[in-house]
Amino acid sequence: MALLTALQGDYGDAADALRIDGRALSREELLGAATAVADRVAGAPALAVLARPTVETVVAVVGGLLAGVPVVPLPPDSGPKEREHILRDSGAALLAHAVGDAGSGGVQGLPVDPAERAATTYAEPAADATGFVLYTSGTTGAPKGAVIRREAIAADLEALAAAWQWTAEDTLVHGLPLFHVHGLLLGVLGALRTGSRLVHTGRPTPAGYAAAGGSLYFGVPTVWSRVAADPEAARRLTSARLLVSGSAPLPVPVFEKLAALTGHAPIERYGMTESLITVSTRADGERRPGSVGLPLDGVRTRLVGEDGAPVPSDGESVGELQIAGPTLFSGYLNRPDADAEAWTADGWFRTGDVAVIGADGFHRIVGRASVDLIKSGGYRIGAGEVEAALRDHPAVADAAVVGAPDEDLGQAIVAYVVPDGAVTGEQLTAFVAERLSAHKRPRRVVLVPELPRNALGKVLKKQLLTEAGEKK
């Protein structure tokens, strides 16, 4: 099951098969430029890619995949601390970037020129070879590298194409970041594999989506909420075929508003970096507000109680969602401890999400088991990582971070900080943005004399959450 089948196969080659932020490439041009990258990276242990939303990023990623070199997307706004960790932990020997773009952070730079061409033929790498190492946050510590096999991606894209009736006739539109599963694996490789055209709007704005004239649209709930708040833009999506939401829960009012304005009940699907997309409503099935639908072909799900006992699929009982199937990752790079926690003895992956399954098989995600994994604008952020960054500041004695409910972002990062000296919230926000990624910086910093703790010294996050919700 070759990952990039349609790219190398026989296809009608539009001059703008791939359009990103106004620049276009045909498939033949993409293949030629990517092969030139492959020639330069073949044999490398891993290829990091400075993943701005540009054609260079796509050329570099496809080049790595053609050569069978694991690709490590680097968030372009990541600060030195996060960047160093990702480059060191992944063992990337090269960092691909656009000509004239940022320095390489200690790793050899590989400028990518989309006008370059090469025609070397590469044998299809083994199906179980690593396609990507994707860095994702846990509740504490630095991001972990999830090792994703090529066959997992191919299986996921195949199952999604079936669920969404996604074909070469489609034009896919989105403006999501190119360093996560949603924007890169689905939003770029999905288009390349199905043969559909891709329009990437640079940023996921309502105006950009409205102007793109596509048939298939991807967005995180924050994007759909902004579209629903812009009736003029929303109405221009009437001619689309399918609107798809994922990466965080789509609020029912947003689902309903979008359906009323566009005439399309959105598809909602559920996934994780570690599992890829596993559950979705279907193009030819019921699209129920608040529900993520049915497991994709080949995916198995189950609910397990806190006591480890099975939880019935009765539409009421709540349990941890566990997943098995061909789309699962192989494990975390260099983190046997995290692997031991993530997998059950019988080989199921613990998602950490709490869900309900109906007798009809429809899945509803109720929330996360841990308050320390935050989803803001569809980004996954570990409270512990932000707390550690804050504590690195000389004027911070202690810090606790929560995800407060937020209408636009789902959750917003709020930091409670005990200062040790003179410091402002803005200074701390800037400090986090510099060290980690910009999207990990707190939206709000509350300076407090002390943090509420229980008798064992554990911070009472639920209390902080209530406070953060009340004091918005």
In the bound state with ligand MCA, the residue whose beta carbon lies nearer, of 197 and 439, is: 439
**How many residues line the site for ligand MCA (CB under 6 A)?**
25
Q: State the binding string over 153-182 for ligand AMP (x if CB under 6 A, else -).
A: ----------------------------x-
Place of tokens 């910093």: 445
CB-neighbour burial class of residue 223 (10 A; exposed 0-12, middle 13-18, buried 19+): buried
Please give the distance of CA 272 from its chain centroid, rounded to a whole number: 7
Please tell me whether residue 379 binds ligand MCA under the rule CB under 6 A.
Answer: yes
Q: Would you state the structure tokens that stand for residue 159, as one six-digit string?
A: 């199952």
CA atoms of 422 and 389, how far apart (whole Å): 18
Please tell me whether residue 291 binds ligand AMP under the rule CB under 6 A.
Answer: no
Q: Can you give the three-state secondary structure of 166-200, one letter per residue?
A: CCCCCEEEECCCCCCHHHHHHHHHHHHHHCCEEEE
DSSP letter for each residue of 67-107:
HTPPEEEE-TT--HHHHHHHHHHHT--EEEEETT----TTS
DSSP letter for each residue of 219-259:
E-HHHHHHHHT-HHHHHTTTT-SEEEE-SS---HHHHHHHH
CA atoms of 417 and 415, how far apart (whole Å): 6
In the bound state with ligand MCA, the residue whose beta carbon lies nearer, of 32 and 204, is: 204
In the bound state with ligand AMP, the residue whose beta carbon lies nearer, of 8 and 370, is: 370
**How many residues line the site for ligand AMP (CB under 6 A)?**
19
Please tell me whether residue 377 binds ligand MCA under the rule CB under 6 A.
Answer: yes
The listed partner (ligand MCA, ligand AMP, none) that binds 368, CB under 5 to 8 Å by sort, is ligand AMP
**Closest approach of Cβ 180 to ligand MCA, in Å?**
4
Q: State the binding string over 362-381 for ligand AMP (x if CB under 6 A, else -).
A: ---x--x------x----x-
Q: Would you state the structure tokens that stand for residue 429, as one six-digit string?
A: 């926000």
- Please say whether the beta carbons of 182 and 176 come within 8 A: yes
Please tell me whether residue 262 binds ligand MCA under the rule CB under 6 A.
Answer: no
Q: State the binding string over 118-157 for ligand MCA (x if CB under 6 A, else -).
A: ----------------------------------------
**Closest approach of Cβ 365 to ligand AMP, in Å?**
4
Stretch that binds ligand MCA, among 40-48, 217-225, 350-358, 414-422 (CB under 6 A): 217-225
Q: Would you state the structure tokens that stand for residue 342, as one six-digit string?
A: 């993530």
Q: Which residue is nearest to ligand MCA (CB)?
A: 377
CA atoms of 180 and 379, how far apart (whole Å): 9
Please tell me whether residue 223 binds ligand MCA under the rule CB under 6 A.
Answer: yes
Please tell me whether residue 247 binds ligand AMP under the rule CB under 6 A.
Answer: yes
Stretch that binds ligand AMP, among 154-162, 265-273, 420-428, 429-437 (CB under 6 A): 265-273
DSSP state of 445: E
Place of tokens 């031991």: 340
CA atoms of 164 and 233, how far apart (whole Å): 23
CA atoms of 320 and 311, how far apart (whole Å): 9
**How far is CA 416 from each of CA 361, 406, 410, 463, rounded to the nearest angstrom?**
41, 17, 19, 12
In the bound state with ligand MCA, the residue whose beta carbon lies nearer, of 31 and 415, is: 415
Please tell me whether residue 136 binds ligand AMP under the rule CB under 6 A.
Answer: yes
CA atoms of 469 and 472, how far apart (whole Å): 6
For 435, list phi and psi in degrees, rounded to 5: -85, -40
In the bound state with ligand MCA, the residue whose beta carbon lies nearer, of 64 and 219, is: 219
**Binding residue for ligand AMP (CB under 6 A) from 219, 271, 319, 331?**
271
Stretch that binds ligand AMP, among 38-46, 72-80, 208-216, 267-275 (CB under 6 A): 267-275
Binding site for ligand MCA (CB under 6 A): 176-177, 180-183, 203-204, 220, 222-223, 246-247, 271-273, 377-379, 429, 438-439, 441-443
Residue ranges in contact with ligand AMP by CB under 6 A: 136, 181, 246-249, 268-273, 292, 351, 353, 365, 368, 375, 380
